[in-house]
Amino acid sequence: MSMHDDVKYVLYSEKDLQEIVNRLGAQITKDYQGKNLLIIPILKGSVLFAADLIRKIDVPCELDFMVVSSYGNGTETTGKVIIKKDISVSLEGKDVLLVEDIFDSGVTLIRLKEELLKRNPASLRLCTLLDKPDRRRCDTIPEYIGSQVPDEFIIGYGLDYAEKYRNLPYIGVLKPEVYEN
């Protein structure tokens, strides 16, 4: 049985994703001209998106990573944000761009943003590949949004269910019978 058999339907093909990344990269390039850009992808989910996005940003930038969790192995956020790996550089005076795979409840990124603002960056913006507004539990909206998605369990292109399906080359909806067992 293939992992593709667990996909209910494909939301974004590889070509769709490439178009989204190109658009976001062009906008970020324009907005960060002459800035001191530090890109911080939130691992693990954003790894594929961030790798593609960074190659489309045509301004000098630094790169560091964070690992943050609020889901565990479930399909709902626990509301408790845990920083598992912090960045290794100072944010002082830098223009920080947090890169995330999906913005749904907003809990994880808002708590993380609050923490990072204490470190005195020159600016701090959020970039998300996917936005799930039906699940929002905060007023914040990321400055850069790839696309909105329905309130279904999304996998692929870095997004996972219980650490699996990240390696799908597209974004799809996971069949409910996979996670309801």
Rounded Cα distance between 90 and 38, Å, is 10
104 is catalytic: yes
User: Is 9 within the bounds of a domain?
Assistant: no
Q: Which residues lie below 8 Å from residue 122, measured CB to CB, with a gap of 6+?
A: 35, 36, 93, 94, 95
- Which helix (DSSP H) or strand (DSSP E) does residue 174 occupy? strand 171-174
How many domains, the chain? 1
Rounded Cα distance between 159 and 53, Å, is 16
Give the pLDDT score at 131.
93
User: Is 136 within the bounds of a domain?
Assistant: yes
- The residue type at 135: R
User: Is 169 within the bounds of a domain?
Assistant: no
User: Is 37 within the bounds of a domain?
Assistant: yes
Give the pLDDT score at 109.
85
User: Is 175 within the bounds of a domain?
Assistant: no
Give the pLDDT score at 135.
75
Task: Please give the distance of CA 144 from its chain centroid, rounded to a whole number.
Answer: 11
User: Is 79 within the bounds of a domain?
Assistant: yes
Give the pLDDT score at 166.
96
Task: Return the closest-CA partner of residue 156 out of 127, 130, 118, 138.
Answer: 130
Give the pLDDT score at 77.
55
User: Is 128 within the bounds of a domain?
Assistant: yes
Give the pLDDT score at 100.
95
Which parts of the chain register pLDDT below 50?
A: none
Q: Exactly one of 104, 131, 134, 139 is catalytic; which is it?
A: 104
Give the pLDDT score at 71.
57
Farthest-apart Cα atoms in the chain, separation: 51
Residue span of the structural domain in which 124 resides:
14-149
User: Is 176 within the bounds of a domain?
Assistant: no
Report the CATH number that the domain containing residue 20 is assigned in CATH: 3.40.50.2020
47-54 helix and 14-31 helix, angle to the nearest 10 degrees: 60
